[in-house]
Amino acid sequence: MYPIQMKKGAELVTEHLLQLLKDGSYAEGQRLPSVEALAKQYQVGRSTIREAQSALKAMGWLDIRHGGGTFARRPEHNPAEQLLSSLTDMDSLRSLIEARKLVEIGSAALAARRRTEQDLTRMSTCLKLMEKYLDDEERSQQEDLQFHVYLAEASHNPILVPMLALFHQECAKHIGSTRRMWLFGERASALQLWNEHQLIYEAISVQDEPLASQRMEEHLTKVEMVLNV
């Protein structure tokens, strides 16, 4: 068993799995345990495992085959891994958030155009959980991230999901717990975040691409101002 506190979540799972992949504990081409098995092993939720796997896929260390399992691989001069090694200062965080805004604004427009009823159901369920856990900083943060994951999946562009998982994970590393508290630690702030996500969802629901992009840009600009980057 590898017990990991939920507070550290996907970041520690990613780091631990990455180390196993690098030291050969999982040989190239070897199938990893199922998401359910890994969630039980690490004592975290399945969404945490999926987020970690998406980040490792973006770095080139995993091959995720829909309906066929997840397999270890060894990247060669992987651009995503090179990018991660350079993200070490505040200027990098600023550039990372700028890139994330551009990608998520476009992702919101694609989601508005391509979303299915299943996509809407998943986002709606996530919003209900966000509202339910407004007073729970950790759970509120997790549901916030999950909403963005579901939105990226609603774009039905397979490149966007691992890309955004990478962006979110690296932003979390730089932001730190103190500034995350500014976003999720106060009920008023958590309620405002929930409302902004609700507005994004409504624009996607009625398939208004310009409005979905506009509301995503407004949301991320406010987050950027709070983080003071």
First to last CA, the chain: 39
CATH code that applies to domain 87-227: 1.20.120.530
CATH code that applies to domain 9-72: 1.10.10.10
160 falls in which pLDDT band (50, 70, 90)?
Answer: confident
Q: Which residue has the higher pLDDT, 110 or 142?
A: 110
Would you state the pLDDT for residue 173?
A: 64
Tokens of 26: 């999982």
Would you state the pLDDT for residue 7?
A: 43
Q: Hey, how many other C-beta atoms are within 10 angstroms of the C-beta on 204? A: 28
Would you state the pLDDT for residue 22?
A: 87
For the segment 59-83, what is each residue's pLDDT rounded down to a tens digit? 788 988 877 889 998 876 544 555 5
Q: Which residue has the higher pLDDT, 229 or 14?
A: 14
Domain assignments of the chain as residue spans, ordered by start? 9-72, 87-227
**172 half-sphere exposure, CB direction, 13 A CA radius:** 21
Pairing of strands 62-65, 69-72: antiparallel
Left (φ > 0), alpha (ψ -120 to 50) or beta: where does 63 sit?
beta
137 falls in which pLDDT band (50, 70, 90)?
Answer: confident
Would you state the pLDDT for residue 104?
A: 93
184 falls in which pLDDT band (50, 70, 90)?
Answer: low
Q: Is-contact 161 152, C-beta < 8 A?
A: yes
Would you state the pLDDT for residue 1?
A: 47
Would you state the pLDDT for residue 141?
A: 77
For the segment 1-15, what is each residue's pLDDT rounded down to a tens digit? 444 444 457 888 988
Q: Is-contact 71 206, C-beta < 8 A?
A: no
- Among 55, 116, 122, residue whose Cα is nearest residue 64: 55
Cα–Cα distance between 152 and 25 in angstroms, integer? 31
Q: How does the average pLDDT of the chain come out, rounded?
A: 81
Would you state the pLDDT for residue 112?
A: 97
Average pLDDT over residues 206-228: 88
Assess whether pLDDT exceeds 80 at residue 94: no
Would you state the pLDDT for residue 90?
A: 47
41 falls in which pLDDT band (50, 70, 90)?
Answer: very high
Q: Is-contact 58 80, C-beta < 8 A?
A: yes
Would you state the pLDDT for residue 58?
A: 74
The reported pTM is: 0.62
Q: Which residue has the higher pLDDT, 196 or 174?
A: 196
SS (H, E, C) 3-19: CCCCCCHHHHHHHHHHH
Cα–Cα distance between 56 and 17 in angstroms, integer? 8
